[in-house]
Structure 1
Amino acid sequence: MKLSRLNVLAAASVALLAACSDPAGITGERFELERARHLWEDRAVADYDMTVWLTGAWVTGGAEIQVRGGVPVSVQPVSEGNRLPPEAFRDYDTVEELFGVLRHAVDEGADRIDAEFDARYGVPVDVYVDYRETWADDEHGFTVEAFESR
């Protein structure tokens, strides 16, 4: 069987992570997060467009976001659903920030983290976080739609 460069890189990343001396530091959600982040970093995408939808007990809305050179240059609310101002996407307007939201949830020991990642780029595309399942209205998440590298 012939392996593509991507498969070799993915296998090497998994082997490297598995060989770390602190296996407790990279299990479960953290392992999946790091694997996706390595894929994103390997792709080295600095220019992209994406639509991000924020969801939660108190917030719902989407924005079309353009990132150039790793910096958000345009955040435009979409007309569907509830409109949120561009400032509401301040922590969600780059892929790096999306990874930061997930890393924070893992580091804080959230009770529930559901995350799906794009197989090609590693981008978190569907995320749900509930910090404390016994608390009301602390859950939130985001969905990335129409991700396109430029």
Structure 2
Amino acid sequence: MRLPITIGLGFILSLSMNIPAMSESRVQIEQLSARHNLNSRKLNFNRILWNKKNISSYRYTLSNSCFCIPEARGPVVIEVRNGKTTSITPVNPEQAINPEFFQKYNTIPKLFNVIQYAIQSQAFSLDISYNHKFGYPTRINIDYNSQIADEELFLTIENFEVIP
């Protein structure tokens, strides 16, 4: 008689440990939607500002504070001429970098695309700062999923300059 009770209790306890997490409340969903809407508006405004400036040759320093190998972090100086990336070089000449790791971030329009993707994929957290004069992003912090460690993205864009 005790064996069926023990098995039954074990089964019930195992179910209680595997109960799926409660879904987000309606308020949380509405707040998330409002944040994404605000982020979309800021992105569109700054992308338009950038496009109006019609800058095709520029350079900037990019740092990637990711949980990744040092060759993918930088800081690196990215130079763009006539809309095409011409060089990606480390700020510290003794530092080894792999330009392949910076392909998603090697132009300002690509940085806007990173932000757009985060908005479209409904990233859990998105913290973006833009340059008020030119519209390019100066900081991109994205946490795609609060339940996953080490998938966050932390980019810093500094020392922007238009080049002739």
Q: TM-score range by the shorter chain?
A: 0.7 to 0.9
| SS across alignment from 2:55 | coil
Gaps (5+ residues) in structure 2? 1-33
* Corresponding position: 1:38 with 2:48: yes
Alpha-carbon offset, residue 138 of structure 1: 0.8
C-alpha RMSD over aligned residues: 1.8
Q: Read off the aligned partner of 1:56 and give its amino acid letter.
A: C
User: What's the counterpart of residue 53 of structure 1?
Assistant: 63
**Is the contact made by 1:37 and 1:122 (CA closer than 8 Å) also made in structure 2?**
yes
Work out the percentage of aligned pairs sharing the same amino acid: 29
Q: Which runs of 4+ in 1 moved over 3 A?
A: 80-83
Which residue identity is paired with 2:57? D
Q: Is 2:144 the partner of 1:131?
A: yes
C-alpha distance in structure 2 between counterparts of 1:27 and 1:133, whole Å:
20
* Cα distance between partner residues in 2 of 1:134 and 1:82: 33
Instruction: Answer yes or no: is the 8 Å Cα contact 1:118–1:124 preserved in 2.
Output: yes
Q: Which of 72, 81, 106 is 1:93 aligned to?
A: 106
Residue identity matched to 1:135: I
Secondary structure of residue in 2 paired with 1:38: helix
- 2-side partners of 1:108 and 1:81: how far apart? 37
Richer in helix (by share): 2
Alignment map for 1:98-109 (pairs within 5 Å): 98-109=111-122
| Structure 1 runs not aligned, ≥5 long | 1-23
Q: Deviations over 1:40-90 (max 9, x none)?
A: 001010010111111212253221111100000111122189643111111
The structure carrying a bigger strand percent of its residues is 1
> Which protein is bigger by CA-based radius of gyration?
2
